[in-house]
Amino acid sequence: MAEFSIIDSYFNRRNLNSVDLGVGDDSAVLTPPPQQQLVICTDTSVAGRHFPLETDPHAIGWKSVAVNLSDIAAMGATPHSILLALSLPQIDHAWLKAFSQGLYDCCDQFGVSLIGGDTTQSPHLTISITALGWVDSGQAIPRSGAQPGDLICVSGTVGDAAFALNHPGHPLQQRLDYPSPRCQLGVALKGLAHSMIDVSDGLAQDLGHILQASQVGATLALDKLPLSPALHTLRDEQKWQYALAGGDDYELCFTISPQNYEKLLQKQIDVSISIIGTVHSSLGLTFEKNGIDHLLQFNGYQHFA
Ligand code: ADP
Ligand code: MG
């Protein structure tokens, strides 16, 4: 019984967008728009592993959705709906109220509906979200399309979340707790970007996935990395460490031809875009600073946490 009262109390709001059948039946039912492909991804967070146990539940709800919408955006797709598989150690109504509010706040901002899920008891608080979106058939932007001569671009600023992890109480904590999936930019890049990834594990590693999938190399301009003011004040090696290896940015990194970049500039985009490098045919990732080769040592590509 408890399971049903949790679902009814916290996870059964009216749907925002076209859903034929949502929470309450054995499965949800959707009608795919004509000429669209389904884009689908999933992401699991475990308390104590992916976020500290004492994290604000509203932020946990927001971020659990946001990281999935970021993966949908990284394909050039429009997010449509999510499913939530929730494992709870106990029923804590204050926690569930704030968590569900954070989850719905993110859904509402991006026009996404919660259409189903599963609620179970388990010793560890675990949140698993599956997100669904649509993309015009054949238009999904893969990691594997980068071409020599492409510009490498990234949205927003990088390294903020990693900086915040190391500076508790800093205003950049907002960037760690409430990432903004770049949904509008992702869709705007459809038909323009050759390859794309969302930056979740650090820019260098995630760009590395594009390079490997595309069998190309790249040079990154360290002086062009978009940084928040707080990171600008750090010494070079430290700020590059945050920017390249930090993780949890949820920005979009994409490659695009110079001609298509000009077309992108004609569109209204709700986030800044920086050109940070170029793609070339010789494999590997190299760095330069102010146009001069720069050998960079940084502590691997792992998360700071
Ligand atoms: P079943 O036993 O058929 O798997 P459940 O009893 O688990 O169904 O779930 C009942 C309904 O509530 C289903 O429509 C399911 O998708 C939905 N649901 C269960 N848990 C959640 C949740 N945490 N968030 C959203 N919907 C949920
Ligand atoms: Mg069930």
Identify the structural domains of the chain with CATH numbers, from first to last.
2-136 (3.30.1330.10), 151-294 (3.90.650.10)
High-pLDDT (> 70) share of the chain, %: 97
Please state, in angstroms and as integers, the Cα–Cα distance from residue 178 to each residue in 30, 92, 222, 229, 297, following that order. Answer: 29, 22, 26, 19, 30
On the question of pLDDT at 302 being above 50, the answer is no
Q: For the chain, how big is the Rg over CA atoms in Å?
A: 20
CA of 287 to the centre of ligand 2 (A): 50
**Ligand 1, atom 10, residue with closest C-alpha:** 24
117 Cβ inside 6 Å of ligand 1: yes
Q: How far apart are CA 102 and CA 96, in angstroms?
A: 10
Q: How far apart are CA 186 and CA 203, in angstroms?
A: 17
pLDDT band for position 276 (50/70/90)? very high
CA of 178 to the centre of ligand 1 (A): 26
86 Cβ inside 6 Å of ligand 1: yes
HSE toward the beta carbon, residue 65, CA cutoff 13 A: 31
On the question of pLDDT at 303 being above 60, the answer is no
Q: Would you call 269 exposed, middle or buried from its count of C-beta atoms within 10 A (0-12, 13-18, 19+)?
A: middle
pLDDT band for position 2 (50/70/90)? confident
How does pLDDT run across 141-191, given as a tens digit for each residue? Answer: 999 999 999 999 999 999 999 999 999 999 999 999 999 999 999 999 999
On the question of pLDDT at 255 being above 90, the answer is yes
How does pLDDT run across 5-25, given as a tens digit for each residue? Answer: 999 999 999 898 999 999 999
Q: What is the pLDDT of residue 234?
A: 97
State pTM to two decimals: 0.95
Q: For residue 130, give the amino acid letter.
A: T
Q: How far apart are CA 223 and CA 189, in angstroms?
A: 25
**Ligand 1, atom 9, residue with closest C-alpha:** 118
Rounded average pLDDT over 117-134: 97
pLDDT band for position 296 (50/70/90)? confident
Instruction: Give the sign of the dihedral formed by CA 100, CA 105, CA 190, CA 272.
Output: negative
**Ligand 1, atom 2, residue with closest C-alpha:** 26
pLDDT band for position 304 (50/70/90)? very low
Q: Classify strands 217-221 and 284-289 as parallel, antiparallel or unpaired.
A: parallel
Q: What is the pLDDT of residue 299?
A: 57
Q: What is the mean pLDDT of the chain?
A: 95
Rounded average pLDDT over 236-261: 97
